[in-house]
Amino acid sequence: MKEKVVLAYSGGLDTTAIIPWLKENYDYEVICCCVDCGQEEELDGLEERAKLSGASKLYIEDIVDDFCDNYIVPCVKASAVYENKYLLGTSMARPGIAKKLVEIARKEGAVAICHGATGKGNDQIRFELGIKALAPDLKIIAPWRDDKWELQSRQDEIDYCKAHGIDLPFSADSSYSRDRNLWHISHEGLELEDPSVAPNYDHLLVLGNSPEKAPEEGEYVTMTFEAGVPTSLNGKKMKVSDIIRELNVLGGKHGIGIIDIVENRVVGMKSRGVYETPGGTILMEAHDQLEELILDRATMEVKKEMGNKLAQIVYEGKWFTPLREAVCAFIDVTQKYVTGEVKFKLYKGNIIKAGTTSKYSLYSESLASFTTGDLYDHHDAEGFITLFGLPLKVRAMKMQEVENNK
Amino acid sequence: MKEKVVLAYSGGLDTTAIIPWLKENYDYEVICCCVDCGQEEELDGLEERAKLSGASKLYIEDIVDDFCDNYIVPCVKASAVYENKYLLGTSMARPGIAKKLVEIARKEGAVAICHGATGKGNDQIRFELGIKALAPDLKIIAPWRDDKWELQSRQDEIDYCKAHGIDLPFSADSSYSRDRNLWHISHEGLELEDPSVAPNYDHLLVLGNSPEKAPEEGEYVTMTFEAGVPTSLNGKKMKVSDIIRELNVLGGKHGIGIIDIVENRVVGMKSRGVYETPGGTILMEAHDQLEELILDRATMEVKKEMGNKLAQIVYEGKWFTPLREAVCAFIDVTQKYVTGEVKFKLYKGNIIKAGTTSKYSLYSESLASFTTGDLYDHHDAEGFITLFGLPLKVRAMKMQEVENNK
Amino acid sequence: MKEKVVLAYSGGLDTTAIIPWLKENYDYEVICCCVDCGQEEELDGLEERAKLSGASKLYIEDIVDDFCDNYIVPCVKASAVYENKYLLGTSMARPGIAKKLVEIARKEGAVAICHGATGKGNDQIRFELGIKALAPDLKIIAPWRDDKWELQSRQDEIDYCKAHGIDLPFSADSSYSRDRNLWHISHEGLELEDPSVAPNYDHLLVLGNSPEKAPEEGEYVTMTFEAGVPTSLNGKKMKVSDIIRELNVLGGKHGIGIIDIVENRVVGMKSRGVYETPGGTILMEAHDQLEELILDRATMEVKKEMGNKLAQIVYEGKWFTPLREAVCAFIDVTQKYVTGEVKFKLYKGNIIKAGTTSKYSLYSESLASFTTGDLYDHHDAEGFITLFGLPLKVRAMKMQEVENNK
Amino acid sequence: MKEKVVLAYSGGLDTTAIIPWLKENYDYEVICCCVDCGQEEELDGLEERAKLSGASKLYIEDIVDDFCDNYIVPCVKASAVYENKYLLGTSMARPGIAKKLVEIARKEGAVAICHGATGKGNDQIRFELGIKALAPDLKIIAPWRDDKWELQSRQDEIDYCKAHGIDLPFSADSSYSRDRNLWHISHEGLELEDPSVAPNYDHLLVLGNSPEKAPEEGEYVTMTFEAGVPTSLNGKKMKVSDIIRELNVLGGKHGIGIIDIVENRVVGMKSRGVYETPGGTILMEAHDQLEELILDRATMEVKKEMGNKLAQIVYEGKWFTPLREAVCAFIDVTQKYVTGEVKFKLYKGNIIKAGTTSKYSLYSESLASFTTGDLYDHHDAEGFITLFGLPLKVRAMKMQEVENNK
């Protein structure tokens, strides 16, 4: 009996060509596994395709809710954003996929896992660190880095498939390189490879309009959170995945969440991409807006550092590590009272604040206003400033003294 | 001969009433000093007003270029933003004003400086820490915190002025509490005191349009930077103050840079305000955009922390401290090669990227693309991931071992 | 019926004089509360003393185990050290005391809490922030900052006591100002007030010998930890308080844990003190030694930052805050596998490592040695360095290119 | 004419065997370069040895003062310590050596640089990142990672040398693996490979005594610093290298600066070593002691973070990077006033403080003492605590309110 490999399979040209290649070069039985994180691909007929391509089995695994609850929500709570802009759409999905691949590998008694990520990107790292952390004994095969892989273009792959009896209708033209899931879609390649060139948004966008094509009329949206977790949209209780799905429609329509970034990959080079994260952008903004009312200054400050750390960790594929768990434990404590309602007006790329409320709000109208009261007497500021400025003043006096002694 | 006090004077009701109050309660000769940071106030006739109010002298000091070059530019270089949103407009101006007040006090041989900031805000701290650091021997008078100050309303102040022979046309109605300079205008009070209420932008905005009222047509703008400092706008070399002035017009027109925030004051409470920073928002975004091409990942990461620190320091009024100087020295090194051109399209509140170039760009199209080359062989990633993931894998193996030994 | 105040009472001169002062100036019924954190004071006869001094009741509350388990242990886990040296002995005790005072105040229906900390130290802040956080409605009385307090010296206090019929044998001589609990003893005052003078250790030390007076023979000590918590000493299971108690004897004997520091107080000035923390120093060192085997590099690095933050938070008296809780949640996750045994030799002020073991150790002899193996092939380092050094190399090439184009 | 390679050469067995290997496998002309960082090796006769081994030339380059002034001093200023203990002795030397190798390579017109560091250590990274940053065009050869290198033991190397006509007296026994320079000596291997075993100090130590073997009598030492740089020892002006040299003698004698550590290497595994840094330990402690008097609290706090960053950067071999330069610029500003004198007593492993003075000291005896004065009135603390504790109190009141509304 042959040893088994689990292949992360999408039904696209790359992962199709890998099936015969694995059989030919490793003599494995190939188990395909298509993990659905909300990429909205055509899954109908996928099983037939996989088998036609030589796989012995296809698993289609829907992890959308797992993705939302266990990967997206912790990052939203943390306001984790990579290099100020990237909402980690692809980064958050990879560990969830890796976990599912390991699960299938264990169930099938496979000895290896194979993925189709290239040798210059971040995803190879995220897949492989996930697998190493969960199943250090499993072999990992990355064809694009493998000496035995000789296919250099889409045409090569098509020819290779044909030569191995797989006759499926793939186009040899390459478009943008894209990755999509419930949270976002990323675009790389074509004109984006030159940072001096503006993206061709008319051609590029998949999830919605550009601000310029968005409707003339704005639209209000209301969200509630409980302990940092989104719980309802426009007054309707929903699970997180449904909230994101609906926000994607709204945000896409109004041109929200399109970013154009040159980012630093883990593997050491810069790359340029455009991300569409319509719903995610609204959700994170709403969460942050609510936190403004609830978190004290010191907590906000340290939480910002921890959110930046989490973004780095997730971007680097280190989800299944003690450090990621520790950071999330920190964040969870800060979220205990992040409960309340946020209202926004969406209008041509803008998220315009329209009121926030929380029973845990630390904002106090009487404290903020100019009057003196029970909690705070204007004279208190006198003592505060004396002590707050003391090190500064002592230092200035010392410098005067040194100067005078010259 | 009487001892002298230098009063930070604007010509408004508050600082006008302070003049007779200082004479009555402290028996000082009052030297007024109006420091111009670009607040676009009516300065004509100010000298007459000051004298009419009982001051013995008025200095009108234009520090706009000092403000731009020595306070704004370091913060732009650092991408210093307080609590994710506030571009520090008021915070950056205060130390510059304090410095000028101390200068005048020294010139006049004054023994004290007086400011009109309230006892619940941040500005009292910023003024006073500035003065303490530069002139620890000078007395500071803050009437609003002074037991002898008994005026509780605008009407009280008007009456007090009249009783002291000052008959100037002040309105008893209070509007928003505002602070304006070249970089921004802030608004507090009225409906803003309730965070559940959306700002009344039609009523509120001073520097430009809301996104909804902005023109249907977008507009391109090009900026160049040298070593992190803005040097030209739309192809024309200009000094920084002129760049900001012109960007304010453009940004204001297109609804850029309006933010609505609940922030944490130094004195311990939350307050809610709206800031308009049209030009500043464009300038900082352009600077950050350029940095994306030029800074390596590690530098970007630490610089972000330092930028956050600078924002805290500046917000807290600790400009004249060794820590602020040290942070700025760090930042300056990172800016050495932040030279290049950034192009944006401004459209209804959106800053849409339209191309960035720099001769120091670390972006390399051949490296970013999918091919293998001199600098990077796909196989290198293999070794990288092995070592990058080693701690994770060793840990997973150890855990398996402990598990098996149970 | 009179309103009640709970007084943090030690039986010393200061808190004795406060009893009649509170009755005279506030007309309160005074409930004394002596909180025992291991200060090894004479508690016999304390009740009689308190009553004789005019208190209506004395509570003696032993919180030693609470102090160890809920304040010391979290700080040991975090390796929390203030300004590189101070092991936070006093700082950790204050919130525990504040909590107990609030508890008694609630039980007695008191309206106020009174403490005897001075107006220039950190302890007033720690007591009061603790009380504010747990019972924001209670009034706080700090006689040393109170206008009605007129006693400026020990002799004044003795006279005041006598005048109010309290005739107890107090000495008018002042010695070092000290604070002691199970974890440490601090010394301030006398020759220590001049940082250019070496401490007079023969005179000063309370808990043990100086290194020079320590025995010629060293002594071994073995400790075990489970999940970061000390669980046994020299092979004997013990509760934490007993471990510290016994380590204090051992450490004191061998001259361990004496530090001489100029530290920055929260209230803005520097002060100089000597701390003896014999057992604590050994315990923290043992904990850190064990962590070296168990924590991965990334976790260690971030944990160090969090430990520093915790030290700041605790020093500032902000124990009962969301931030402190969040930091501790972070730390707790890192401690899950900090289990194992540490052996030290104590010798004349030195803690000499003598072997560490843990079943969760990530140290691998085969990996560390010079041979190639399954987990790591020397060639892997090639790829690692290529990618690790890529940003650096790309930058250097770009700089060469710019140079050449000049 | 053959292409040239510059070989980092020590005269030991490894780098001797590399000479014929380079000629055989790469057909290069081999230029040896022995960089002297104070390793106190036998340099007499080295030229003869190198030539005898087949090198065409030997450079002996003394960089001791460069090492002290440009690598050690910046790290001392920063208090840069890796993982709490390691004073970076080897890490700081590598970039200096790399720089010199590049200089010689340029002078000789060489096309490659070769070093003898192994494939599992940090030094390969430090050498290579240094070379990449300074000369990205040069090829780097690391025989231990090279497929053509087949020598697996000292005996193999000896045989290989003999087979190539090099007959030098090398021992086949391996001892500890050591690295020495002016700052420190490191030891790895033998019994140290098992962290449960105590080091055999009698066998191991090179630079001095263990505390137990140190003299019964302590000894005083005085150092002065100017702007963070050590300038004199025991009253005698000296250059830094001489200060370190003399402190090594003193520290070695008194058993100072021996540490036993399990550290995390950059390449992902833990290793265990013993470091002797007698002079360095005293110098850093003296510097830190002086800073206690001079730096304000906020500066100290951020400087600690920056020092930790610098330690990471240096440990990882990223000396020639913008981030390292930026961090050092930060540090330099903090050092401007770190001027003064520190006195220590050295005694059996202990550095006992014996007085510190500085004209820039921010310590003020009158401020620190218990009395009220001009700068600080006890009542000021009242207002300070009110504001400092305000967020905490507001939060507690809000929680009570929520609780009551349930």
In order, the DSSP letters of D199-233 are: --HHHH-SSS--GGGS-SS-EEEEEEEETTEEEEE
On whether the CB atoms of residues B266 and B122 are closer than 8 A, the answer is yes
Query: Does residue B124 form part of some domain?
Result: yes
Round the CA-based radius of gyration of chain C to a whole number and report it: 26
**Nearest-Cα residue of chain D relative to residue B313:** D298
Q: How many CB pairs under 8 A join B and D?
A: 91
Q: How far apart are CA B353 and CA B349, in angstroms?
A: 13
C150 shares a domain with C187: no
Annotation says C179 is catalytic:
no
Pair of tokens at residue B13: 């009701």
Are the Cβ atoms of D384 and A379 closer than 8 angstroms? no
Which among A146, A264, A323, A374 is the top mutation candidate for probing chain C, defined by the most C β-carbons within 10 Å of its own β-carbon?
A323
B197 shares a domain with B344: yes
Say what the pLDDT of residue C375 is.
77
Q: How far apart are CA C329 and CA A332, in angstroms?
A: 9
A119 shares a domain with A223: no
To the question of whether residue C214 is assigned a binding role by annotation, the answer is no
On whether the CB atoms of residues B393 and D267 are closer than 8 A, the answer is no
Question: Is C303 in the A-facing interface, judged by CB distances under 8 Å?
Answer: yes
Chain A nearest C-alpha distance from C357 (Å): 20
Q: How far apart are CA D223 and CA D233, in angstroms?
A: 5
Q: Looking at the predicted structure, is the pLDDT value of residue A372 above 80?
A: no
Q: Which residue has the tokens 């209000």?
A: A220
C12 shares a domain with C148: yes
Q: In this structure, how many other beta carbons lie within 10 angstroms of the beta carbon of residue A325?
A: 17
Are the Cβ atoms of A327 and C326 closer than 8 angstroms? no
On whether the CB atoms of residues A76 and A67 are closer than 8 A, the answer is no
Q: What does chain B come to in residues?
A: 406
The residue from A49, A53, A79, A123 that is catalytic is A123
For B395: left if phi > 0, alpha if psi spans -120 to 50, otherwise beta; the answer is: alpha
CATH of the domain at B101: 3.40.50.620
To the question of whether residue B118 is assigned a binding role by annotation, the answer is yes
Chain B nearest C-alpha distance from D224 (Å): 22
Pair of tokens at residue D64: 């001791």
| Mean pLDDT confidence for B369-387 | 80
Angle at D169 between CA D163 and CA D173, to 5 degrees: 95
**Nearest-Cα residue of chain A relative to residue C389:** A268
Q: Looking at the predicted structure, is the pLDDT value of residue D371 above 70?
A: no
B184 shares a domain with B76: no
A276 shares a domain with A213: yes
Question: Is B380 in the D-facing interface, judged by CB distances under 8 Å?
Answer: no
List the subunits that have 3+ CB pairs under 8 angstroms with B: A, C, D
Chain A nearest C-alpha distance from D140 (Å): 19
Alpha-carbon torsion (B312, B315, B317, B319), positive or negative = positive
Residues forming a β-bridge with B220: B345
CATH of the domain at A210: 3.90.1260.10
Query: Does residue D363 form part of some domain?
Result: no
B145 shares a domain with B26: yes
Query: Does residue D68 form part of some domain?
Result: yes
Q: Looking at the predicted structure, is the pLDDT value of residue B373 above 70?
A: no
pTM of the model: 0.97
Question: Per-residue pLDDT tens for A249-287?
Answer: 999 999 999 999 999 999 999 999 999 999 999 999 999
Say what the pLDDT of residue D365 is.
84
B184 shares a domain with B159: no
Distances (CA, A) of D220 to C260, D253, D282: 17, 13, 12
A127 shares a domain with A232: no
The residue from B94, B180, B272, B324 that is catalytic is B94
Pair of tokens at residue A301: 């400050």
Q: Give me the numbers of helices (H) and strands (E) for chain D, helices first please.
A: 15, 14
| Mean pLDDT confidence for A393-398 | 93
Q: Looking at the predicted structure, is the pLDDT value of residue A140 above 70?
A: yes
Question: Is A390 in the D-facing interface, judged by CB distances under 8 Å?
Answer: yes
**Nearest-Cα residue of chain B relative to residue A367:** B269
Residues forming a β-bridge with D342: D223, D356
D230 shares a domain with D152: no
Q: How far apart are CA A167 and CA A152, in angstroms?
A: 19
Say what the pLDDT of residue C369 is.
72
Annotation says A14 is catalytic:
yes
Q: pLDDT band at C350, cuts 50/70/90?
A: very high
Share of chain A above pLDDT 90, in %: 90
Annotation says A177 is catalytic:
yes
Query: Does residue C106 form part of some domain?
Result: yes
On whether the CB atoms of residues A350 and A251 are closer than 8 A, the answer is no
Q: Looking at the predicted structure, is the pLDDT value of residue D370 above 70?
A: no
Query: Does residue B373 form part of some domain?
Result: no
Query: Does residue C123 form part of some domain?
Result: yes
CA dihedral D239, D245, D249, D254 (to 10 degrees): 80
Q: In this structure, how many other beta carbons lie within 10 angstroms of the beta carbon of residue B202?
A: 9
Say what the pLDDT of residue D157 is.
94
Query: Does residue A116 form part of some domain?
Result: yes
Q: How many CB pairs under 8 A join A and C?
A: 90
D238 residue type, one letter: M
Burial of C306 (0-12, 13-18, 19+ CB in 10 A): buried
Domain boundary among the residues B101, B131, B163 is at: B163
Q: Which of A31, A2, A19 is nearest to A106 (CA)?
A: A31
| Mean pLDDT confidence for D163-189 | 92
Q: How far apart are CA C89 and CA C183, in angstroms?
A: 6
Are the Cβ atoms of A396 and B133 closer than 8 angstroms? yes
Q: First vs last Cα of chain B: how many Å apart?
A: 91
Pair of tokens at residue C9: 């009472």
Question: Per-residue pLDDT tens for C202-236?
Answer: 999 999 999 999 999 999 999 999 999 999 999 99
State phi, psi for C217 to the nearest 5 degrees: -95, 130
Question: Per-residue pLDDT tens for D331-354?
Answer: 999 999 999 999 999 999 999 999
Q: What does chain C come to in residues?
A: 406
Q: Which of D293, D309, A394, D90 is nearest to B302 (CA)?
A: D309
Are the Cβ atoms of A267 and C387 closer than 8 angstroms? yes
B60 shares a domain with B9: yes
To the question of whether residue B123 is assigned a binding role by annotation, the answer is yes
Instruction: Give the number of domains in chain A.
Output: 2
Alpha-carbon torsion (B198, B203, B209, B213), positive or negative = positive
D204 residue type, one letter: L
**What is the DSSP pairing of strand C258-264 with strand B29-36?**
unpaired
A136 shares a domain with A34: yes
Question: Catalytic residue positions of D?
Answer: 14, 94, 123, 177
On whether the CB atoms of residues C36 and C63 are closer than 8 A, the answer is yes
Q: How far apart are CA D140 and CA D132, in angstroms?
A: 9
Question: Per-residue pLDDT tens for B213-261?
Answer: 999 999 999 999 999 999 999 999 999 999 999 999 999 999 999 999 9
CB-closest option in B268, B326, B388 to D390: B268
Question: Per-residue pLDDT tens for B19-34?
Answer: 999 999 999 999 999 9
Q: pLDDT band at B365, cuts 50/70/90?
A: confident
| Mean pLDDT confidence for A317-336 | 98
Q: Looking at the predicted structure, is the pLDDT value of residue A174 above 80?
A: no
Are the Cβ atoms of A296 and C321 closer than 8 angstroms? yes
- What is the DSSP code (8-state) at residue A12? S
Say what the pLDDT of residue B19 is.
98
Q: Which residues of A touch B84 (CB under 8 A)?
A: 288, 304
Query: Does residue D73 form part of some domain?
Result: yes
Domain extent for C343: 177-294+339-357
Say what the pLDDT of residue D168 is.
87
Burial of B42 (0-12, 13-18, 19+ CB in 10 A): exposed
Q: How far apart are CA D384 and CA D390, in angstroms?
A: 10
CB-closest option in C125, C133, C260 to D396: C133
Residues forming a β-bridge with C353: C344
Question: Is C363 in the B-facing interface, judged by CB distances under 8 Å?
Answer: no
Say what the pLDDT of residue D373 is.
66
